Amino acid sequence: VKHLLGIRDLQRSDIETIFQTADSFKDVLQRPIKKVPTLRDTTIVNVFFENSTRTRISFELAEKRLGADVVNFSASGSSVSKGETLIDTVNNILAMKVDMVVMRHSATGAPHFLSKHIDVPILNAGDGINEHPTQALLDAFSIREKLGSVEGKKVAIVGDIMHSRVALSNIYCLKKLGAEVTVVGPPTLIPKYLANALGVNVTYNLREALEWCDVANVLRIQLERLKMPLFSSLREYSLVYGINKQLLDSLHKEVVIMHPGPINRGVELSSDAADSKQSIILQQVENGVAVRMAALYLLSGKTPNITVTGN
């Protein structure tokens, strides 16, 4: 059984296969009837132990556009509150003849753990501070669409690198595709050891990073994961690391602005920057459906001539 647990497990050729497949599905999504019967005989459960808007709806839409039967599970309101374990929860769902699992969990490694106990494909929809592979795929797919390729492009990832699974998956994905990556943010959120281990450039100077990059992927401060205050206030963070239109207009180039959402407007990104024509934030969301259709299709086992190496 193949899973999509993280970008770290993938080869560049796997990512390119996902993109080529997503190109086809993006064409399907432009048609009046946005559906194909590819996974008509497949039942997929979306198991969310952590809140989500984009990822959950995007996966559900992707599954329905592929013709799959879809079941949604949220930990809140379930028997998890009575003490049922993760493995028992998922095995009970699988006993009802479910073929694939999409899972988000606040614990790092939860889908990896689960993959050792069940024998259907698992797609990681975000695990703690580890990885969010489909977000990184849709981000890179959106850069490729906007700039023609990812190879050789300069991407700055801005903000809370330490707590962001989006940052980690993006770094793996962008480097595999030949982009140059710089991380920028306060030193408290970018430990040197982390940047060194990941093989990316580090700067604590936002303007320097923006003057350098083609694309800035701006991250939310993960307040729910912060163990200590990063600045005296979010206002102070915003003054030093917030991006607004005035700052973008003062640069010597036009930088493409990305954000995985949800945006804390006025903190990491002002509304005039988020909603500017430099922003491709809603294109990222649109592309998420096609990219997730591709990932689901390629992992479903219904593609006799295509394989991906996810473990």
Backbone dihedral angles phi then psi of residue 183, each to the nearest 5 degrees: -105, 140
Query: Nearest approach, Cβ of 288 to ligand CP (angstroms)?
Result: 8
Toward ligand CP, which CB reaches closer, 131 or 145? 131
12 annotated ligand binder:
no
Q: Does 53 bind ligand CP (CB under 6 A)?
A: yes
21 annotated ligand binder:
no
* Interatomic CA distance for residues 212 and 288, integer angstroms: 27
SS (H, E, C) the chain: CCCECCHHHCCHHHHHHHHHHHHHHHHHHHCCCCCCCCCCCCEEEEEECCCCCHHHHHHHHHHHHCCCEEEEEECCCCHHHHCCCHHHHHHHHHCCCCCEEEEEECCCCHHHHHHCCCCCCEEEEEECCCECHHHHHHHHHHHHHHHCCCCCCEEEEECCCCCCHHHHHHHHHHHHCCCEEEEECCHHHCCHHHHHHHCCEEECCHHHHHHHCCEEEECCCCHHHCCCCCCCCHHHHHHHHCECHHHHHCCCCCCEEECCCCCCECCCECHHHHCCCCECHHHHHHHHHHHHHHHHHHHCCCCCCCCCCCC
Query: Nearest approach, Cβ of 274 to ligand CP (angstroms)?
Result: 14
Query: Nearest approach, Cβ of 87 to ligand CP (angstroms)?
Result: 24
Query: Nearest approach, Cβ of 244 to ligand CP (angstroms)?
Result: 22
Query: Nearest approach, Cβ of 204 to ligand CP (angstroms)?
Result: 25
* Interatomic CA distance for residues 234 and 274, integer angstroms: 18
Q: Does 128 bind ligand CP (CB under 6 A)?
A: no
Query: Nearest approach, Cβ of 239 to ligand CP (angstroms)?
Result: 25
112 annotated ligand binder:
no
Instruction: Give the count of alpha carbons within 13 A of 2, CB side only.
Output: 18
Q: Does 260 bind ligand CP (CB under 6 A)?
A: yes
Q: Does 262 bind ligand CP (CB under 6 A)?
A: yes
Stretch that binds ligand CP, among 48-56, 72-80, 94-102, 294-302 (CB under 6 A): 48-56
Toward ligand CP, which CB reaches closer, 53 or 78? 53
Which residues are 217's β-sheet partners?
157, 258
Stretch that binds ligand CP, among 11-19, 71-79, 153-161, 255-263 (CB under 6 A): 255-263
262 annotated ligand binder:
yes
Query: Nearest approach, Cβ of 135 to ligand CP (angstroms)?
Result: 5
Q: Does 135 bind ligand CP (CB under 6 A)?
A: yes
Toward ligand CP, which CB reaches closer, 52 or 264? 52
Residue of 67, 128, 261, 301 that binds ligand CP (CB under 6 A): 261
82 annotated ligand binder:
yes
54 annotated ligand binder:
yes
Residue of 52, 74, 108, 278 that binds ligand CP (CB under 6 A): 52
Stretch that binds ligand CP, among 52-60, 68-76, 188-196, 293-301 (CB under 6 A): 52-60
* Interatomic CA distance for residues 166 and 135, integer angstroms: 7
Toward ligand CP, which CB reaches closer, 55 or 170? 55
Residue of 16, 23, 36, 54 that binds ligand CP (CB under 6 A): 54
- The residue ranges that bind ligand CP (CB under 6 A) are 52-55, 126, 135, 260-262
